[in-house]
Amino acid sequence: MSDRIPSLDGLRALSICCVLFAHLCGTRDFLPVTVARFTGDLGNLGVRIFFVISGFLITGLLLKEHRGGGISLKRFYLRRTLRIFPAAFLFIGVAACLFPLRSGDLAHALTYTSNYHPVHAWTMGHLWSLSVEEQFYLLWPAVVLLLAPAGAKWAALAAVVAAPLLRTVAYFHLGMSNEAVGEQFQFAMDAIAAGCLLALLRDRLAQIPGWLGILRSNWLLLLVAALPVLNLGGLYPRAWLPVGQTVLNFTVAVLIERFVRYPPAFLNSRVLVWIGVRSYSLYLWQQVFLNRTGAAWYNASPANVALAVLAAMASYAWIERPFLGLRKALEGGRRNAQAQPETSAEAGWKSPGVEFAP
């Protein structure tokens, strides 16, 4: 049996392509930046999809542990450390040595608090989303452990309700900037929470008469076309902050459920899986090369794309894969020591070999 959840690598690939195209537009010898903004902030859409995927995946893995005997925070944080830190710290070290940074960039990058550091060098700008993810990893397993899945549903729902209220008040009444309202954890947590709710409720949803029929319907694919339209809501803060983001988050969640339950061939094609597997390293390294204000030769197209891909391939081959192998070896040893039958419900949550963060 494959240890990958169907379609997630393909969805990661499409998401990272949104980010890459958004950052590529405006670089020398490529399309103007206005092209990427034709459907709103395309990079924001890509990151938002990653957030929902992350909430869905991590919650599913925690549910599997809960059903299998209990959640171990120690094992969870060890897996996250081996998965996230080596590639990220390599990138941060190289960027700090080779590129000019602003005051506080390095400290916030190393502590995963870049989402609370709005004035930063371009090279470190994308680390805000990794900070949101890491803050989620820090908090959510403890929530599921302490409240159990039943209570975790209410915690995720509370995040979905609270985040729109908080960002609306912060932007319109406290005068906080677009960057702060878009990046700080308390304002962005509802995207991840939407994925958490999907994982927590999907079995119950499947029991609702007609739900699986709706998921199978080709009419549901109209939601794919709706994504860029919904993303345009970012141009209208009065609708976007309280309502628009929430609608977009749950549209993404519904599409994830459709594509996971009924995997389309194109999302599981070799090309998209290849890109999706390397999406974390692609996200880390693209920022160096896809710089529309950079004057260096490596910031011009198509060299910038080629170098971003080569850097991601090297990071995946030399950093990610060895540490993933170490993680699998540690997990394999634990499974052999504590072997037990796996229920059919748990079988659908085998840990994929690669997870994107975001």
pLDDT digits (tens, 9 = 90+) for 152-204: 999 999 999 999 999 999 999 999 999 999 999 999 999 999 999 999 999 99
Residue 169, number of CB atoms within 10 A of its CB: 14
Is residue 124 within 8 A of residue 50, CB to CB? The reply is no
Residue 23: name the closest of 114, 153, 169, 122 by CA.
Answer: 122
Q: What is the pLDDT of residue 107?
A: 98
Q: What is the pLDDT of residue 336?
A: 59
Q: What is the pLDDT of residue 264?
A: 97
Largest CA distance in the chain: 59
Peptide linkage before 264 cis (omega within 30 of 0): no
- Give the tokens for residue 349: 């949550």
Q: What is the pLDDT of residue 331?
A: 79
pTM of the model: 0.93
Q: What is the pLDDT of residue 338?
A: 54
Give pLDDT < 70 ranges for the chain: 1-3, 333-358
Q: What is the pLDDT of residue 356?
A: 39
Chain center to CA of 82: 17
Q: What is the pLDDT of residue 1?
A: 38
- Give the tokens for residue 48: 């938002």
* Residue 38: strand pairing partners: 40
The C-alpha R_g of the chain, in whole angstroms, comes to: 20
Contacts of 55 (CB under 8 A, 6+ apart): 136, 156, 191, 192, 193, 194, 195, 196, 197, 198, 199
